[in-house]
Amino acid sequence: MEYLLEVTTGAERGERHKLPLGSYVVIGRAGNEIQHTVQMAAGGDRLLGDELLAIAERHIAARSDRGSSPHRLGVRKRMPDIDFADAGISRNHAMVFHDQQGVSIVDLMSTNGTHVNDAIVADADLRTGDVIRVGRTELRLLVVG
Protein backbone atom coordinates (compact mmCIF):
# COMPACT_ATOMS: atom_id res chain seq x y z
CA MET A 1 0.00 0.00 0.00
CA GLU A 2 1.22 3.52 -0.73
CA TYR A 3 0.24 6.56 1.27
CA LEU A 4 -0.03 10.26 0.54
CA LEU A 5 0.12 13.28 2.81
CA GLU A 6 -2.32 15.84 1.43
CA VAL A 7 -2.08 19.43 2.64
CA THR A 8 -5.60 20.55 3.57
CA THR A 9 -4.90 24.00 5.09
CA GLY A 10 -2.20 26.60 4.70
CA ALA A 11 -0.38 28.25 1.81
CA GLU A 12 0.50 24.87 0.28
CA ARG A 13 -3.10 23.59 0.34
CA GLY A 14 -3.68 20.88 -2.27
CA GLU A 15 -0.09 19.64 -2.37
CA ARG A 16 0.31 15.86 -2.17
CA HIS A 17 3.45 14.09 -1.01
CA LYS A 18 3.99 10.36 -1.63
CA LEU A 19 5.21 8.16 1.19
CA PRO A 20 6.27 4.80 -0.31
CA LEU A 21 6.84 1.72 1.83
CA GLY A 22 10.28 1.83 3.47
CA SER A 23 10.55 5.61 3.36
CA TYR A 24 10.40 8.62 5.64
CA VAL A 25 10.06 12.38 5.24
CA VAL A 26 11.05 15.38 7.35
CA ILE A 27 8.45 18.14 7.79
CA GLY A 28 9.86 21.61 8.43
CA ARG A 29 9.64 25.35 7.90
CA ALA A 30 10.69 26.96 4.62
CA GLY A 31 11.89 30.45 3.91
CA ASN A 32 12.99 31.34 7.40
CA GLU A 33 15.44 34.14 8.05
CA ILE A 34 18.22 31.75 9.09
CA GLN A 35 17.88 29.37 6.15
CA HIS A 36 21.38 30.24 4.94
CA THR A 37 22.84 28.77 8.16
CA VAL A 38 21.12 25.39 7.74
CA GLN A 39 23.47 22.63 6.64
CA MET A 40 22.14 20.83 3.61
CA ALA A 41 22.92 17.39 2.24
CA ALA A 42 23.97 16.94 -1.39
CA GLY A 43 20.36 16.07 -2.32
CA GLY A 44 19.07 19.39 -0.99
CA ASP A 45 17.58 18.11 2.25
CA ARG A 46 18.53 19.33 5.72
CA LEU A 47 21.18 17.49 7.66
CA LEU A 48 19.74 16.33 10.97
CA GLY A 49 21.82 16.69 14.12
CA ASP A 50 22.68 13.82 16.44
CA GLU A 51 19.90 14.68 18.89
CA LEU A 52 17.18 14.54 16.21
CA LEU A 53 18.64 11.38 14.69
CA ALA A 54 18.57 9.77 18.15
CA ILE A 55 14.85 10.63 18.49
CA ALA A 56 14.16 9.01 15.12
CA GLU A 57 16.21 5.92 16.00
CA ARG A 58 14.34 5.46 19.30
CA HIS A 59 11.03 5.71 17.43
CA ILE A 60 12.17 3.11 14.89
CA ALA A 61 13.46 0.82 17.63
CA ALA A 62 10.10 0.95 19.43
CA ARG A 63 8.34 0.03 16.17
CA SER A 64 10.87 -2.75 15.57
CA ASP A 65 9.91 -4.26 18.92
CA ARG A 66 6.37 -4.53 17.51
CA GLY A 67 7.50 -6.44 14.42
CA SER A 68 8.67 -3.71 12.08
CA SER A 69 12.00 -4.01 10.35
CA PRO A 70 14.65 -3.04 9.49
CA HIS A 71 15.76 -1.32 12.67
CA ARG A 72 17.96 1.54 11.41
CA LEU A 73 17.04 4.89 9.89
CA GLY A 74 19.84 4.59 7.34
CA VAL A 75 18.18 1.68 5.52
CA ARG A 76 15.05 3.71 4.82
CA LYS A 77 14.65 5.95 1.78
CA ARG A 78 14.45 9.61 2.64
CA MET A 79 11.89 11.39 0.53
CA PRO A 80 12.34 15.11 -0.24
CA ASP A 81 11.68 17.32 2.78
CA ILE A 82 8.21 18.84 3.01
CA ASP A 83 8.70 22.52 3.78
CA PHE A 84 5.91 24.94 4.65
CA ALA A 85 5.78 28.75 4.70
CA ASP A 86 4.32 28.70 8.22
CA ALA A 87 6.06 30.53 11.07
CA GLY A 88 4.43 28.13 13.56
CA ILE A 89 6.47 25.22 12.21
CA SER A 90 9.96 24.50 13.50
CA ARG A 91 12.87 24.22 11.09
CA ASN A 92 12.90 20.44 11.70
CA HIS A 93 9.42 19.80 13.09
CA ALA A 94 8.53 16.12 12.63
CA MET A 95 9.30 12.94 10.71
CA VAL A 96 6.75 10.62 9.11
CA PHE A 97 7.63 6.95 8.50
CA HIS A 98 6.03 4.24 6.37
CA ASP A 99 7.11 0.70 7.24
CA GLN A 100 5.59 -2.78 7.42
CA GLN A 101 3.60 -1.73 10.52
CA GLY A 102 2.00 1.21 8.69
CA VAL A 103 2.57 4.96 8.96
CA SER A 104 3.81 6.76 12.06
CA ILE A 105 4.96 10.22 13.07
CA VAL A 106 7.51 11.48 15.59
CA ASP A 107 7.87 15.06 16.82
CA LEU A 108 11.44 16.40 16.62
CA MET A 109 11.33 18.60 19.75
CA SER A 110 9.30 21.22 17.87
CA THR A 111 8.41 24.49 19.56
CA ASN A 112 4.64 24.26 18.99
CA GLY A 113 4.21 20.49 19.01
CA THR A 114 2.80 17.99 16.57
CA HIS A 115 -0.92 17.20 16.70
CA VAL A 116 -2.79 14.17 15.40
CA ASN A 117 -6.57 14.55 15.34
CA ASP A 118 -6.22 17.54 17.72
CA ALA A 119 -4.17 15.62 20.32
CA ILE A 120 -0.57 16.65 20.89
CA VAL A 121 1.80 13.70 20.38
CA ALA A 122 5.47 12.88 20.84
CA ASP A 123 4.97 10.01 18.43
CA ALA A 124 1.97 8.14 17.11
CA ASP A 125 0.81 5.45 14.74
CA LEU A 126 -1.36 6.93 11.98
CA ARG A 127 -4.45 5.62 10.21
CA THR A 128 -5.96 6.58 6.89
CA GLY A 129 -7.88 9.84 7.31
CA ASP A 130 -5.92 11.07 10.34
CA VAL A 131 -5.22 14.79 10.40
CA ILE A 132 -1.74 15.98 11.30
CA ARG A 133 -1.33 19.60 12.37
CA VAL A 134 2.03 21.34 12.47
CA GLY A 135 1.85 25.07 13.12
CA ARG A 136 -1.26 26.29 11.30
CA THR A 137 -0.84 23.72 8.52
CA GLU A 138 -2.89 20.52 8.37
CA LEU A 139 -2.21 17.36 6.40
CA ARG A 140 -4.46 14.34 5.93
CA LEU A 141 -3.12 10.82 5.51
CA LEU A 142 -4.60 9.17 2.43
CA VAL A 143 -4.10 5.70 0.97
CA VAL A 144 -3.40 5.27 -2.75
CA GLY A 145 -4.72 2.29 -4.68
* Residues forming a β-bridge with 121: 114
pTM of the predicted model over 0.85: no
Q: How far apart are CA 15 and CA 82, in angstroms?
A: 10
Tens of pLDDT along the chain (145 residues)? 889 999 999 989 999 999 999 888 999 998 644 444 444 454 556 677 788 888 888 888 887 665 555 555 555 788 899 999 999 999 899 999 998 888 999 999 999 999 999 999 999 999 999 999 999 999 999 998 7
Total residue count of the chain as it appears in this document = 145
Task: Count other Cβ atoms within 10 Å, centred on residue 136.
Answer: 14
Q: How far apart are CA 58 and CA 41, in angstroms?
A: 23
Write the secondary structure of 83-125 as one string of H (helix), E (strand) and C (coil).
Answer: EECCCCCCCCCEEEEEECCEEEEEECCCCCCEEECCEEECEEE
